[in-house]
Structure 1
Amino acid sequence: MTQVVRSRRRVWRWIALSFVLLILATIGTGYWLYSDLNSKIKGVDLEKAIGEDRPEKVPTAGQNLLVLGSDSRSGANASLSTGRVSGARADMALVIHISEGRSKAVAVSIPRDTLVTRPACTAKDGSVLPSARRVMFNSVYSLAGSACVVMTVEQMSGVLMDHFVEIDFAGFKDLVDTIGGVTVTVERSIHDKSSGLDLNQGTHKLDGTQSLQFVRTRHGIGDGSDLGRIGLQQQFLIALLGEIKKQDLLGSPTKAYRIADHVTSSLTTDSGLASLPKLAEFGRSVNRIDPSSMETIMLPVRYDTQDPNRVVAAQPQASRLWQALRKDEKIPEAAKRSPAIQGATH
């Protein structure tokens, strides 16, 4: 296995763990002290939004959680330079499979540039979007929202999503400012006109606006691919968690409230998790999972023959991966190989 593949897995492992641990830890703490934060969590009734055309639930096959990171260009993000892109995209998508015994977990990342078949969904304006082939995965969210992303993932995988959690990256702006900034070190200067990030080589303490620029930038690093941006997101989130731990923010009721306040404001979940008690219960139910043993896999993909800037699911690897998750089985090594990145240079 190449160094690129191993690096990619490490990157996604930390992204998955950073988001999930940050949410569950802060909200779990906040719940016991400030139940009034419930009203800030937005909930989506998946049964109503999707209907009954969903994969069959296997009672002994564990649980599946879809984690979405939304890069909304509205609200708190509106002041950032984002080039010609408007609206919102699902900038990160992870299917986290939790084993039946709640002691093991595996996270499958879906590249944002993957071409997929979007099922018929209800658009954000209430109109009906017909099914469409060869659409970019991260465009599904911008057109039809999180419920349609859940539906798309379920139809492409055949795996039922028991829950989903959507995090608006804009919420981290206020969070970073609340804790006084996050310190990062960059090995090379980054000057990205698209995101607005302008950092010289060295160590910097980023405020909220700079932090959003940092996790979004990609044109000013490496070859401009998403891998570079993913690496920066990983670096930032690890630094954020380190700052929270260093300041013992979760050990102080007042500080814990401030963190939970900003996290819940940026959170959308399915109705089954749309309250602090339910989130705290879910967090406690998975606390046996050892983060160091959590396996993270990129959905096996290959470059599209018609458009080399896009990828499609590689077969039979992808089908074998999803089948293993459906049956709560160990994922075969052959199902983890992605032809698109074998021998890649970025």
Structure 2
Amino acid sequence: MTGVDESGEGGRGGRRSVVVKTVGLTVAAVLVLGAAAGGLAYWHLNDNIKSVDIDSALGDDRPARGVTTPSASATPLPTGAVNLLVLGSDSRSGAANEELGGGDSSGARSDTAMVVHVEAGRAGATVVSIPRDTLVTRPSCPLPSGGSTAVAYRAMFNSAYAVGGAVCAVKTVEELTGVRMDHYLEIDFSGFAKLVDALGGVTVTTEQDIDDDYSHLKLAAGTHHLDGERALALARTRHGIGDGSDLGRIALQQTLVKALLAQMSSTELLTDPAGLYRVADAVTGSLTTDTGLDSLTELIRFGQSLRGLAADDVRTVTMPVVTAPADPNRVVAKEPAAGKLWRSLR
């Protein structure tokens, strides 16, 4: 089992993959809502956004920040290289998430994890998916209540979020990669489903039948128009496809994200204020960021800095992995390939 390039074109995405996973759907939606960011609507959307002060929690025991050169512009958009950890979480907190996923907030996991590296000048990006089944050394993480978690060896990658939330997820990724995460973005179950519904559903094509008792999704091979709940089930599907590992689900998620971006661009939200607001409300209402991106103004500014990013300059890959020696149902980073990939993003 190895990590794979998901672009299908030598590491460079096709035209439909522009901004694919470049902060996922979040920045794509934030760019659209700039036209409606005024008055009470602005304040409501701004108040929706939750944040975590990751810098204060982790202190200085982290990889070094990248060096940036200030712009000469009076009101410069950011242009330096930047790394983001983007998570799709299966948090069950709140009635909407509980209905979609069951359980409670203590069972939360990071179902989807991507490291997004935007190059200096914002003219190129690399998006690396990390399979949640990857076995890692989970470092000791500070807890909001005080104290810290114990170091855990051969732990599931997505357990970091479960035991220590966003802070531990960031620290675990930095430990795994040696790359400083400058920003953090997370969207939960209900937000994803609401976003799809706000867009009027999404049309996807599957190449094989899907019958997954875990995600409760049954689809015949072919083209389907999915509502938010069924789209979420597709994003969570892994059993009965490929080898049943997280690599198969990552491929499904990429297909789904591309379809959502196509739906977003074809919906003409800029001419539909009500629809625009529903999309913006769905995204910001289930969004958690670090304190550097915790306002609508900051998100829009960051999104605007990515406008020059061409489709052919976005590369999507999966961290190289191999089957774990002691567990055929888990994977570990494949070295030296994984290390070489992470070093290229520092």
Structure-1-length-normalised TM-score = 0.83
The aligned counterpart of 1:22 is 25
Q: Paired residue for 1:182, among 162, 186, 202?
A: 202
Higher deviation after alignment, 164-173 or 136-145: 164-173
The aligned counterpart of 1:195 is 215
- Superposition pairs for residues 3-14 of structure 1, below 5 Å? 5-7=4-6, 14=17
Residues 174 and 208 of structure 1 are in contact (CA less than 8 Å); yes or no, is this contact kept in structure 2? Answer: yes
Can you list the C-alpha shifts for 1:82-133, whole angstroms capped at 9, x where unaligned?
79x9822111211111112221111222221111111111347655211122
The separation in 1 between residues aligned to 2:175 and 2:24, in whole angstroms, is 28
Give yes or no for the alignment of 1:227 onto 2:253: no
The aligned counterpart of 1:263 is 283
The aligned counterpart of 2:62 is 54
The separation in 2 between residues aligned to 1:140 and 1:15, in whole angstroms, is 30
Residues 81 and 120 of structure 2 are in contact (CA less than 8 Å); yes or no, is this contact kept in structure 1? Answer: yes
Q: Paired residue for 1:45, among 53, 71, 85?
A: 53
The aligned counterpart of 1:295 is 315
The aligned counterpart of 2:297 is 277
List gaps (5 residues or longer) in structure 1.
327-346
Per the TM alignment, residue 216 of structure 1 is displaced from its structure 2 partner at its CA by 1.1
Give yes or no for the alignment of 1:33 onto 2:36: yes
List gaps (5 residues or longer) in structure 2.
69-79
- Which SS does the other structure have where 1:180 is aligned? coil
Higher deviation after alignment, 26-35 or 208-217: 26-35
The aligned counterpart of 1:71 is 90
Give yes or no for the alignment of 1:103 onto 2:114: no
The aligned counterpart of 2:142 is 122
- Superposition pairs for residues 114-263 of structure 1, below 5 Å? 114-123=134-143, 128-263=148-283
Residues 71 and 88 of structure 1 are in contact (CA less than 8 Å); yes or no, is this contact kept in structure 2? Answer: yes
2:99 is matched by which residue type in structure 1? S
Per the TM alignment, residue 235 of structure 1 is displaced from its structure 2 partner at its CA by 2.3
- Flag the 1:150–1:7 CA change in 2: closer, same or farther, 3 A: closer
The separation in 2 between residues aligned to 1:94 and 1:238, in whole angstroms, is 15
Per the TM alignment, residue 41 of structure 1 is displaced from its structure 2 partner at its CA by 0.6
Q: Paired residue for 2:329, among 288, 294, 309?
A: 309
Percent identity over paired residues: 50
Q: CA-atom RMSD, angstroms?
A: 2.9
The separation in 1 between residues aligned to 2:190 and 2:324, in whole angstroms, is 32
- Flag the 1:102–1:109 CA change in 2: closer, same or farther, 3 A: same
Question: Which aligned segments of 4 or more residues in structure 1 are displaced greater than 4 angstroms?
Answer: 6-16, 80-83, 123-127
The separation in 1 between residues aligned to 2:278 and 2:120, in whole angstroms, is 34
The separation in 1 between residues aligned to 2:308 and 2:278, in whole angstroms, is 27
- Which SS does the other structure have where 2:87 is aligned? strand
Higher deviation after alignment, 275-284 or 290-299: 290-299
1:220 is matched by which residue type in structure 2? G
Give yes or no for the alignment of 1:320 onto 2:340: yes
Residues 215 and 233 of structure 1 are in contact (CA less than 8 Å); yes or no, is this contact kept in structure 2? Answer: yes
The separation in 1 between residues aligned to 2:269 and 2:20, in whole angstroms, is 18
Residues 124 and 310 of structure 2 are in contact (CA less than 8 Å); yes or no, is this contact kept in structure 1? Answer: yes
1:17 is matched by which residue type in structure 2? V
The separation in 2 between residues aligned to 1:12 and 1:133, in whole angstroms, is 35
Per the TM alignment, residue 19 of structure 1 is displaced from its structure 2 partner at its CA by 6.0
Structure-2-length-normalised TM-score = 0.83
The aligned counterpart of 2:71 is none
Residues 116 and 135 of structure 1 are in contact (CA less than 8 Å); yes or no, is this contact kept in structure 2? Answer: yes
Residues 65 and 97 of structure 1 are in contact (CA less than 8 Å); yes or no, is this contact kept in structure 2? Answer: yes
Per the TM alignment, residue 224 of structure 1 is displaced from its structure 2 partner at its CA by 2.1
Can you list the C-alpha shifts for 1:34-78, whole angstroms capped at 9, x where unaligned?
321111111111122112211122314721111111122444243
The separation in 1 between residues aligned to 2:314 and 2:234, in whole angstroms, is 26
1:38 is matched by which residue type in structure 2? N
- Flag the 1:98–1:16 CA change in 2: closer, same or farther, 3 A: same
Per the TM alignment, residue 248 of structure 1 is displaced from its structure 2 partner at its CA by 0.9
The separation in 1 between residues aligned to 2:188 and 2:227, in whole angstroms, is 17
- Flag the 1:8–1:281 CA change in 2: closer, same or farther, 3 A: closer
Aligned residues: 324
The separation in 2 between residues aligned to 1:300 and 1:201, in whole angstroms, is 29
Per the TM alignment, residue 33 of structure 1 is displaced from its structure 2 partner at its CA by 2.0
- Flag the 1:230–1:12 CA change in 2: closer, same or farther, 3 A: farther
